[in-house]
Amino acid sequence: MKNYPPFFRAVWRECARIPSGEVRTYGWIARRIGKPGAARAVGRALAANPFAPLIPCHRVVASDGSLGGYSGPGGVAAKRRMLSREARLKIKMA
């Protein structure tokens, strides 16, 4: 992971902390890592995420609650399915 820019690593660490079944915004992550106003850069960092199984970038949405983008296989439709599946699992586990 040390071959990646420090900003990317900070974004990925914060994203990895998002609990299953929950979402955060790109702006929220930017503020958490001390870079308010860097929401678009957060999106670029997540698009470059090489650790998708460990860093759940699908849990990050736009500030208006829309899904935003998703560069993984299946695009935004896949992101929607993953979030829906996590929400159902969380309800069952509660």
Three-state DSSP at 56 gives: coil
57 in active site: yes
DSSP classification of residue 41: H
The residue annotated as part of the active site, out of 57, 60, 61, 83, is 57
Q: Which of 88, 64, 32, 78 is nearest to 11 (CA)?
A: 32
Which residues are tagged catalytic? Answer: 57
